[in-house]
Structure 1
Amino acid sequence: MKNIPLTLALVAGVALSGPALARRGDDYGRYDTRYDWATVVDVDPIIERSRRPVSREVCYDQPVERYEPGYTARRNHTGATVLGAVIGGALGNQVGKGDGRKAATIAGAVIGGAVGNNTSQRRGDYYETSGGYTTDYETRCREQTAWRGNDEIVGYQVTYRYRGDVFHTTMDHHPGNRLRVRVDRGVTPAE
């Protein structure tokens, strides 16, 4: 049993040296984490397209034809004046007796004639003699909708090479010509 401590020492030495021997493998430093640089082979932008409506008011002058009549005033108000005098005189004749009746008839005729003449002038006793078409312009507006497209880069598809092997990743920025990578159980971009 003198060899038991020696056997235990050998077993312990082999057990402790196993991971150390495994770390020395040439498989990209498989169990060690380290950082290195990879060569970027290709970078393709990831583009997101969007469309949105843009409305605006468009105004223009529209030609419009209008008829404009020409009027002439009637200059002869005699008929209305005479009719007013007759009606006024008849009404005045109904008032009073004797000389008062004569005065009321004359006053009624004068007042009736004046009212008839004035009424015919206010009434606009006009008639159309000429007219014609004229062209005016009216401003008219309408709403016009156009679609605006927008392309936005939201990321990059990156292809890179490390020690002869090719890898792919998606990044939120352009990496440039080389990419810092983390090498442990695999090769990944370092953050």
Structure 2
Amino acid sequence: MGKKILMFGFSVGMAVACVNLAWSQDRGYGDDRAIDNSRLAWADVLRVDPVYGNIVSSRPREECYDSNVDHRYDTRGNNTAGTVIGAIVGGALGNQVGKGDGRKAATVAGAVIGGAIGNNQARRDDRYYSETQTNCRTVSESYSERRIVGYDVQYRYRGDVYMSHLDYDPGERMRVRISVTPAE
């Protein structure tokens, strides 16, 4: 029971404080009143006209294009194989010629000549092919759009009509600052 009474008392106290704060702000008794002899009040909004402007912005866009690319089949392994096969065949043929040291020299010469011929033949077999490759890049695209950049607001305070330019639409009523200064 004691906790309920304490919570009720706290709630009533907070409500009184909020009402008092709202009453003092409505009367303009805030901290700024003592500094610049002003207070806050409410004015009725008569008309709100949006003000438009052209805003230039940019956004990224991907741009792609196709291009033909020529490739050579990888025949490095075939060149080696052609050289080795040519050297074996050339060495075997060179071994058939001559006797003694001449046969050895003919075998070596046949292997060298056969290897060179096999390598050249393998290189002639190089083939090329063409493929289409898509390349893309990001470009910045500028565009202009019409946007609301502010509001011309006509409002009435105590029978007088005023006009102001605001960054926002104030709705049906708006807060105004009333200031009093001595006339010279």
TM-score (norm 1): 0.44
Considering fraction of residues, name the structure with more helix. Answer: 2
Q: Higher Cα Rg: structure 1 or 2?
A: 1
TM-score (norm 2): 0.45
Considering fraction of residues, name the structure with more strand. Answer: 1
